[in-house]
Structure 1
Amino acid sequence: MLSHIQAKLLIVDDLPENLLALEALVKGSDCEVHQAQSADQALSLLLEHEFALAILDVQMPGMNGFELAELMRGMEKTKNIPIVFVSAAGREMNYAFKGYESGAVDFLHKPLDPHAVKSKVAVFIDLFRQRKALKQQLEAIERSREEQAQLLAQLQVTRGELERAVQMRDDFMSIVSHEVRTPLNGLILETQLRKMHLARDNADAFTLDKMRAMVERDERQINSLIRLIEDMLDVSRIRTGKLSIRPSLFDLSQLVGGLIENFAAQAIAAQSSINFSAEAALSGVWDEFRIEQVVANLLTNALRYGAKSPVQVRTFEQQGMACIEVKDQGIGISEQNQQRIFQQFERVASSQSSAGLGLGLYISEQIVLAHGGSIGVHSIEGQGATFTVRLPLTDLPQAADHQQATSA
């Protein structure tokens, strides 16, 4: 059963004929026999191989068998190898006692009894193989334990990730439910109010001015729903690597200035204002729609969390990059939250005081990264926040070429 474990036997004697005779006795023990004619040769073999048993002649020139045994007991690699001494000296010389003192496990006297030698060698080889098998089993158990520990650690990490994913899903569904319900409730209330006026034949409720106000309210609610849906679609596109970027040549300062004009109504509703300054025209090749989306997200957050204070926006060039800076004077963002606000479903403030799906900054960062740029925030809690977008500038001739190539 254990025969697959290789066993090696070392025999040491200064006389070649004794080595041949001893090998002839033990070679049927299913082991690999190594010979040494001196203690020095034996030491070299002991350092090179792992032996199941060493049979040492006592009387050898130079270092004798007892001295070799003492060296073996002092070496980590060889200290546990069983040693059997062989001697031609008479029993009355008490060599056996000295051999046991040197660390021997047995002592044989010449002339050797073939049956006794084979039996003893077989016993030591069997013990060696059992020890090796036990060691291999213990090592396998230890490896299995380590693998189980690693697997358990991985499972715990996975469990934590799943729990976080479930929590994010629940939070997301709660946010979506709230955010979608808000514009829908507005539309439902408007519809019910109009049905009531129609049922009462109240034509005064449908004057031209009132109809304009109704359409504006409907448009705001519908745009809110469209924005929520587009945000969710953008996240899906980002995850699948299908976020489309359609570059064209345009002036970044002009784009930001026009967008700020469109935010006039939102600024008034937030009891705030937006001040814009542009150092110069910043022409480059970017996706106009996507960059507008980024700036719109930053303006929306600045008005939402700006504590009714003026919002400062400027565009400028810095180190070969076109920069957009949006600065508010509101609640600010803690250092800890600055690390997570660009993640999915993370919002600047608590859910009680914030709106939206928590996707705006995540989508904005992915858009900017897709342009080879960066977006960052500097803020001190309670002292406002400054978001800065950096986009690589393209020289005008190259930009024109890029635009033509894209159109083609």
Structure 2
Amino acid sequence: MLSNIQAKLLIVDDLPENLLALEALIKREDRTVYKALSADEALSLLLQHEFAMAILDVQMPGMNGFELAELMRGTEKTKNIPIIFVSAAGRELNYAFKGYESGAVDFLHKPLDIHAVKSKVNVFVDLYRQSKAMKQQVEALEQARREQEALLQQLQSTQLELEQAVRMRDDFMSIVAHEVRTPLNGLILETQLRKMHLARDNASAFTLDKMHAMVDRDERQIKSLIRLIEDMLDVSRIRTGKLSIRPSHFDLVQLVSNLLQNFAQQIEAAETEVSFTAAEPVEGHWDEFRIEQVVSNLLTNALRYGGRSPIQVRVYRVDDEARIEVQDHGIGISAENQKRIFQQFERVSAKTVVAGLGLGLFISEQIVAAHGGSIVVESEINEGALFRVCLPIQENGTSDATSE
């Protein structure tokens, strides 16, 4: 409501009794009256407050009312304040004409007409309140416009995120369908082949050596399926903040050494060599299963992209930090793709999209981060890639933890 807007009024007169009389005439609860005995006092108040109007006495020692009005009109803060002059001088001096020239909106002669003063003050106070209320409404509308723009931007951002999520889901489902189909097709073909041999009573197809080969092929396909499922489960755990981390004390060098022995068949199939360097044991508290998972992902990538070139694996300690490095000399990774490879479902190589869900590095980075560590890559196209895992060495660990 307009009545809630407090109006400030300025009255200037060099006689205190005139100020008191005028104050009593125009003062109300919804108004604050400021009094000044000189133009200098008035200027000081004008700089401190926002006034609805000013009533100036013309004849004052020093700076008179006309001069004060000219200063007010020349100042940005006060140029729009309505001014009413009052004077005890006779009408023959043409003060009223000069007052209007100085920018006054009215001129009153003493003795003042009580009703006229009240009426004029009420008019200008109402105009001030209406102007103030309109300004507040404009500011409110502007604020609402800004909020709507911010909301629109947020909605647009959310829409883009949803569209990206839908594309990611579709890509993921397409990748999963393809990757799951590959080992399943192998198992189906093996099953059909065995059924055919059984239907023909072909016992020679089931010699001990051939049975060993069949079991090995089946095991590889089943392990591929299990790995796909585990990767998807890990992503779900990461998204819900429930990636299980169970630290225990072990030697990182021994873990990597054992893992390389388990990778012997894959290394042979990749027609490459892997060298392992570790000067001394590197012991600490980490989740042995999860760290093995990280190193396995890095080795798998090195074998996949290494182009049959030698691979170097190194484990060492720098101060209170354990480091694992896996370096290949294959196709390398561009600077642009280095920013992407740790994202979900990214499987970008130098030239093409390759097999796998594109979750290995994403999961590895999350596992390392859950240990308070980091994983970085250094690479250039056609010059291979170096992945470095940095893990803080904790002398004591908890028996069970969950990544948040």
Fold conserved between structures, TM > 0.5: yes
CA contact (8 A) 1:376 1:387 kept: yes
Tell me how far apart the structure 2 counterparts of residues 265 and 303 of structure 1 sit (CA, whole Å): 11
User: What is the correspondence of 1:253-272 to structure 2 with a 5 Å cutoff?
Assistant: 253-272=253-272
Residue 31 (str. 1) matches residue 31 (str. 2): yes
- Does the CA contact (< 8 Å) of 1:9 and 1:52 recur in 2? yes
Cα–Cα, structure 1 residues 281 and 24, in superposed 2: closer, same or farther, change >3 Å? closer
Give the Cα separation in 2 of the matches to 1:252 and 1:289: 11
Are positions 1:275 and 2:275 aligned together? yes
Deviates more, 1:372-381 or 1:12-21: 12-21
Most deviating of 131-140 and 315-324: 315-324
Residues 56-114 of structure 1, C-alpha deviations (whole Å, 9 max, x = no match): 11112222111221222233322211101111222221111211222111111223233
Residue matched to 2:63: 63
What pairs with 1:129-140 in structure 2 (closer than 5 Å)?
A: 129-140=129-140
**Which residue of the partner structure matches residue 85 of structure 2?**
85
- Indicate conservation of the 8 Å contact 1:333/1:385, yes or no: yes
Q: Which residue of 2 aligns with 1:326?
A: 326
Alignment partners' CA distance in 2, 1:386 and 1:227: 24
- Report what 1:238 is aligned to: 238
Q: Which amino acid aligns with 2:240?
A: T
Q: Is the 8 A contact 2:332 2:350 kept in 1?
A: no
Whether the aligned pair in 1 keeps the contact of 2:271 and 2:308 (CA below 8 Å) is yes
CA distance in 2, matches of 1:130, 1:73: 22
Using the TM superposition, name which of 30-39 and 260-269 deviates more. 30-39
Once the two structures are TM-superposed, the CA of residue 248 in structure 1 deviates from its matched residue by: 2.7
Residue 142 (structure 1) aligns with: 142
In 2: Cα distance, 1:249 partner to 1:116 partner: 95
Q: Between Structure 1 and Structure 2, how many residues are aligned?
A: 400
Q: For residue 47 of structure 2, what is the aligned residue in structure 1?
A: 47
Please state how far the C-alpha of 1:44 moved relative to its aligned partner: 2.9
The answer to whether the 8 A contact 2:272-2:311 is kept is yes
CA distance in 2 between counterparts of 1:251 and 1:125 reads: 84
| Distance (whole Å) between structure 2 residues aligned to residue 361 and residue 167 of structure 1 | 20
Q: Which structure 2 residues correspond to residues 139-288 of structure 1 after superposition, within 5 A? A: 139-288=139-288
| Matched ranges for 1:91-110 at <5 A | 91-110=91-110
Q: Contact 1:29/1:118 (CA < 8 Å) preserved in 2? A: no
Change (3 A) 1:327 1:7: same
- Distance in 2, matches of 1:20 and 1:191, equals 110
The yes-or-no answer on 1:347 pairing with 2:347 is: yes
Once the two structures are superposed, what CA deviation does each residue of 1:291-325 show, in whole Å capped at 9, x if it has no partner? 21111111100011111222222223333433222
**Cα 1:29/1:96, change in 2 over 3 Å:** farther
Query: Which residue of 2 is the match for residue 356 of structure 1?
Result: 356
CA distance in 2, matches of 1:275, 1:329: 13
- The farther-off stretch of 346-355 and 64-73 is 346-355
Given the superposition, is the C-alpha separation of residues 12 and 171 from structure 1 closer, same or farther in structure 2, using an over 3 Å criterion? Answer: same
Counterparts of 1:79 and 1:146, CA distance in 2: 30
Distance across 2 between alignment mates of 1:253 and 1:382: 29
Match of 1:294 in 2: 294
CA deviation map 1:217-275 (0-9, x unaligned): 11111100111111111122222332222333333222222221221221222232222
2:56 partner letter = L
Q: Does 1:371 align with 2:371?
A: yes
Aligned-residue offset at 1:335: 1.0
| Other structure's SS at 2:60 match | coil
In structure 2, do the counterparts of structure 1 residues 69 and 221 end up closer, same or farther at CA, with 3 Å as the change threshold? Answer: same
The answer as to whether partners of 1:245 and 1:290 remain within 8 angstroms in 2 is: yes
Greater Cα offset, 317-326 or 206-215: 317-326
Structure 1 residues 393, 58: closer, same or farther in 2, change over 3 A? closer
Q: Letter of the aligned partner of 1:307 in structure 2?
A: G
Deviation readout 1:324-361 (Å, 9 max, x if unpaired): 22111111001111122112222242795411111111
Please provide the CA RMSD for this pair.
Answer: 2.2
For residues 329 and 7 of structure 1, do their structure 2 counterparts lie closer, same or farther at Cα, with a shift above 3 Å needed?
Answer: same
Q: How big is the shift at 1:195?
A: 1.9
Looking at structure 1, the residues matched to 67 and 288 of structure 2 have their Cα atoms a distance apart, in angstroms, of: 90
Distance in 1 of aligned mates of 2:28 and 2:242: 73
What is the CA distance between 1:391 and its match in structure 2? 2.6
**How far 1:378 sits from its partner (Å)?**
0.8
Distance in 1, matches of 2:37 and 2:175, equals 87
Q: 1:283 to 1:133 in 2, by over 3 A?
A: closer
For residues 16 and 150 of structure 2, the distance between their equivalents in structure 1, rounded to whole angstroms, comes to: 55
SS at match of 2:277: strand
SS of 1:51's equivalent in the other structure is: coil
The one-letter code sitting in structure 2 at the alignment partner of 1:312 is: Q
Report the TM-score, using the length of structure 2 for normalisation.
0.92
Q: 1:26-54 CA distances to partner (integer Å, 9 max, x unpaired)? A: 34696333332222332233233221111
Task: For structure 1, list consecutive stretches of 5 or more residues without a partner in the other structure.
Answer: none
CA distance in 1, matches of 2:399, 2:125: 80
TM-score by length of 1: 0.91
When structure 1 is superposed on structure 2, of 164-173 and 7-16 the one drifting more is 7-16
Q: What percentage of aligned pairs have identical amino acids?
A: 75
Query: What's the counterpart of residue 303 of structure 2?
Result: 303
Task: Give the Cα–Cα distance (whole angstroms) in 1 for the partners of residues 112 and 294 of structure 2.
Answer: 95
SS, match of residue 3 in structure 1: helix
Offset, 1:173? 1.2
Q: Distance in 1 between matches of 2:138 and 2:364?
A: 56
Whether the 8 Å CA contact 1:29–1:122 is kept in 2: the answer is no
Would the aligned equivalents of 2:10 and 2:53 in 1 still touch at CA under 8 Å? yes
CA contact (8 A) 2:4 2:30 kept: no
